[in-house]
Chain A
Amino acid sequence: MKSSPHMFLVGKLATLSIAMFAFGYVVMPPLYNVICDITGLNGRTNSAAVAAPDGSVISDRTITVEFVSVINSSAAWSFKPVVQTMEVVPGKTYTTNYIAKNLSSGPAVGQAVPSVAPSSAAKYFNKIECFCFTKQEFAGRAEKEMPLIFFVEPDLPRSIDTITLSYTYFNTGEDPENLSDS
């Protein structure tokens, strides 16, 4: 039997390759998300509500928050912020709105995905309430005004005086009928 002395080594190598597959397929995606969430790399901001600030620390300066909207090319939407920019004092809570309209005649489901630039500001930008936490259902040609309540943390680094919040609005391709879970 020639190959039997090899079996131990072959087994180790095969295990290594399977482990690397698991690393790529099972470990990397959640790890990536965790790293992005913690560090705010990639402009990742919170995807679930955070508590409102107690108002005890208010910054002594004003920064600019810019609102940007992007439509995924495949979607028949119009999607716009109500205001383009706001002057914001870190520590205080603000409310603004985005307006989305379904331009098709059929029903559709939309989902907004946020991103913050510069990415080093992402972890200081907190959403208390956001339409991006859930999906929205639209009847044909329906329009919705969707709220965003946020605050910027007072310990935002001094070097940052402008934060850009961008939403990309996607048509999830789902049928509103089947959307019971959101």
Chain B
Amino acid sequence: MSTAAAGHHDHDDHGPAKGWTRWLWTTNHKDIGTLYLLFSLVMFFIGGGMALIIRAELFQPGLQLVDPLFFNSMTTMHALVMIFGVVMPAFVGLANWMIPMMIGGPDMALPRLNNWSFWIMPFAFLLLLSTLFMEGGGPAGGWTLYAPLSLQGGDSFAFVIFSIHFMGISSVMGSINIVATIFNMRAPGMTLMQMPLFVWTWLITAYLLIAVIPVLAGAVTMLLTDRFFGTSFFNAAGGGDPVMYQHIFWFFGHPEVYILILPAFGIISSIIPTFARKPLFGYASMVYATASIAFLSFIVWAHHMFTVGMPLAGEMFFMFATMMISVPTGVKVFNWIATMWRGSMTFETPMLFAIGFLVMFTIGGLSGLMLAITPADIQYHDTYFVVAHFHYVLVPGAIYSIMAATYYWMPKWTGNMYDEKWGKIHFWVSTVFLNVLFFPMHFVGLAGMPRRIPDYNLQFADWNAVATIGAFGFGFSQLIFVYVIYKCIKGGEKATDEVWEGADGLEWTVPSPAPYHTFEKPPAQYS
């Protein structure tokens, strides 16, 4: 990394390099942030296209459009793309753009590593998506890659494993960079407890990533050797145990779902105070709540496996531990509400998305609480009720927070205000269709419709048709998002430096658009 340091230091205040190779070699945190965000946007439409294939097939009972194996590879790929290709890169992109500016540092701590972390991603996803065109098709055993099912597909499985390894390496390098940035690059005098919550939540997320992504890497490596090199980690005939795969996977998997939501908590904690024109209620309790959620996320993994036949004591432990997570989560929700209480609120697009997050994420948390009740989960497990649960926490949760962040900080990135009218239309159209799409899944799930099935019993037909209409509506309304972003990059009303009247934080003290290099001289207000 010494070359990285040498390469980094030869700029003064010149702007970006000329030509498209700027993007290839860039070590600038803003450029890399932009790359991550654009990558995520592209993947959002690829993963969304897969979702529409799924919903089109499910529009009516019976097999109409695609064959079942392809259907199953669509559910598998949709999840992998959305989790690893959309939500995680978008959060990393936001971290790149905002963390250095929020803590008054000139750049990320390890700029050259940063370039690597990004450019591994398109490569990894090319590898993953290419398996769809290989003999035997892409992975079709679900994103959880449960053994032994996942080991029964084609040889393209090796590419799936490698792409997961690459994504993992990218995430771990990105996380190490973020931790180093937060610890070492803060403006002189800024204490940890003065950091904005987005920085805090990312610090904790980065630790989660460093701790659990390697566990996933271990699990998929075992799958690889079981499939190709004759080991039997998960093969009962050779003395292994498929249930062990589930334990290892979910030891990664549950912290992973918090990786997908903690940065969102940070974003919402930035936006709500701005538009309520009040400081965040209970800053310190927010920090502690985030830390306790992260800790608890390591001891609840088996709530995904209530039906594998655990002993009663185990089921009870995981049930109560899971329910305990709702306590710090509830603290956060109440703090956000208290922040809005008697504030002078206005409802610009970022605030609409933040409030949408608050309401609908809570619905997802509530269905999570229902799933945590072991005896009930034995009925709900692997039904559409679970699908409804995690889509409520991930779409109006994680995805809405990313959209809120985009509207909130885009004027700082581009120097132009986005089109408020179209932003609001985007919010309302998305929100209506989203509920048309996901709410009926609660009903069919409670009635027993299994997930990951291309065909279903006639009794589920009506609500599935409704959900499919919602899906197409939601999918196409995302074109409005692209239009607003495009328009904002092209021009529009000039943004002020502060952008939002009630905004607080170092990022609003630099000009709009943010110059290529910011805080080369650290801000003085903390020392």
* A residues whose Cβ falls under 8 Å from a Cβ of B: 1-7, 9-10, 13-14, 16-18, 20-26, 28-29, 32-33, 36, 39, 41-43, 47, 72, 111, 113, 117, 119-120, 168, 170-172
Chain A proximity mask over B212-250: 1 for CB below 8 Å, otherwise 0:
111111110110000000000100111111011001100
Q: Which of B45-53, B179-187, B193-201, B512-520 contacts A (4 or more CB under 8 A)?
A: B179-187
Task: Provide the residues of chain A in CB contact with B184, threshold 8 Å.
Answer: 5-6, 9
In the complex, are the beta carbons of A2 and B222 less than 8 A apart? no
Counting residue pairs across A and B whose Cβ atoms lie within 8 Å, the total is 110
Q: Is B63 an interface residue (CB 8 A)?
A: no
Chain A proximity mask over B1-27: 1 for CB below 8 Å, otherwise 0:
110111011000000000000000000
In the complex, are the beta carbons of A14 and B176 less than 8 A apart? yes
* B residues whose Cβ falls under 8 Å from a Cβ of A: 1-2, 4-6, 8-9, 109-110, 172, 175-176, 179-180, 183-184, 210-219, 221-222, 233, 236-241, 243-244, 247-248, 251-252, 309-311, 314
Task: Provide the residues of chain B in CB contact with A36, threshold 8 Å.
Answer: 241
Q: Which of A13, A14, A39, A43 has the most CB of B within 10 A?
A: A13
Docked complex Cα distance between A6 and B1 (Å): 10
Docked complex Cα distance between A170 and B247 (Å): 23
Docked complex Cα distance between A70 and B218 (Å): 30
Task: Provide the residues of chain B in CB contact with A29, threshold 8 Å.
Answer: 222, 233, 240, 244
In the complex, are the beta carbons of B311 and A32 less than 8 A apart? no
Task: Provide the residues of chain A in CB contact with B4, threshold 8 Å.
Answer: 3
Determine which of A25, A41, A170 lies in contact with B221 in the assembled complex, contact meaning CB atoms within 8 Å. A25
In the complex, are the beta carbons of B243 and A42 less than 8 A apart? yes
In the complex, are the beta carbons of B176 and A172 less than 8 A apart? no
Determine which of A17, A42, A72, A172 lies in contact with B241 in the assembled complex, contact meaning CB atoms within 8 Å. A42
The 4 A-B pairs at the shortest CB distance, nearest first, are namely A24-B218, A170-B237, A25-B218, A21-B214
Docked complex Cα distance between A168 and B238 (Å): 12
Docked complex Cα distance between A39 and B313 (Å): 12
In the complex, are the beta carbons of B236 and A168 less than 8 A apart? yes
In the complex, are the beta carbons of A17 and B9 less than 8 A apart? no
In the complex, are the beta carbons of B214 and A20 less than 8 A apart? yes
Task: Provide the residues of chain B in CB contact with A3, threshold 8 Å.
Answer: 1-2, 4-5, 8, 109-110
Docked complex Cα distance between A25 and B252 (Å): 12
In the complex, are the beta carbons of A9 and B241 less than 8 A apart? no
Task: Provide the residues of chain A in CB contact with B243, threshold 8 Å.
Answer: 42
In the complex, are the beta carbons of B309 and A42 less than 8 A apart? yes
With A3-B2, A20-B210 known to touch, is A10 a contact of B176 (CB < 8 Å)?
yes
Known: A9-B179, A42-B241, A119-B309. 14 other contacts (CB 8 A): A1-B2, A5-B184, A6-B109, A6-B180, A9-B180, A16-B210, A17-B211, A18-B214, A20-B211, A32-B241, A41-B310, A42-B243, A43-B309, A117-B309
Q: Is the interface of A mostly helix, strand, loop or mixed?
A: helix
Closest Cβ–Cβ distance, residue A79 to chain B (whole Å): 13
Docked complex Cα distance between A4 and B8 (Å): 13
Determine which of A2, A17, A22, A42 lies in contact with B5 in the assembled complex, contact meaning CB atoms within 8 Å. A2
Closest Cβ–Cβ distance, residue B184 to chain A (whole Å): 6
In the complex, are the beta carbons of A2 and B8 less than 8 A apart? yes
Determine which of A6, A25, A172 lies in contact with B222 in the assembled complex, contact meaning CB atoms within 8 Å. A25
Residue in chain A with minimal CB distance to B312: A120
Determine which of B172, B248, B310 lies in contact with A24 in the assembled complex, contact meaning CB atoms within 8 Å. B248
Task: Provide the residues of chain A in CB contact with B219, threshold 8 Å.
Answer: 24
Task: Provide the residues of chain A in CB contact with B179, threshold 8 Å.
Answer: 9, 13
In the complex, are the beta carbons of B211 and A111 less than 8 A apart? no
Residue in chain B with minimal CB distance to A9: B180
Docked complex Cα distance between A32 and B109 (Å): 39
Determine which of A9, A26, A117 lies in contact with B183 in the assembled complex, contact meaning CB atoms within 8 Å. A9
Task: Provide the residues of chain B in CB contact with A7, threshold 8 Å.
Answer: 1
Q: Which of A9, A24, A120 has the most CB of B within 10 A?
A: A24
Task: Provide the residues of chain A in CB contact with B311, threshold 8 Å.
Answer: 39, 41, 119-120
Docked complex Cα distance between A2 and B6 (Å): 8
Docked complex Cα distance between A160 and B93 (Å): 57
Docked complex Cα distance between A1 and B238 (Å): 53
In the complex, are the beta carbons of A21 and B215 less than 8 A apart? yes
Write 21 A-B pairs (CB below 8 A) sorted by A numbering. Answer: A3-B2, A3-B4, A3-B5, A3-B110, A5-B184, A17-B176, A17-B210, A17-B214, A24-B216, A24-B217, A24-B251, A25-B217, A25-B218, A25-B222, A28-B247, A29-B244, A32-B247, A42-B241, A72-B237, A168-B236, A170-B236
Closest Cβ–Cβ distance, residue A96 to chain B (whole Å): 22
In the complex, are the beta carbons of A10 and B180 less than 8 A apart? yes
Docked complex Cα distance between A22 and B6 (Å): 33
In the complex, are the beta carbons of A32 and B244 less than 8 A apart? yes
Closest Cβ–Cβ distance, residue B523 to chain A (whole Å): 19
Docked complex Cα distance between A2 and B109 (Å): 8
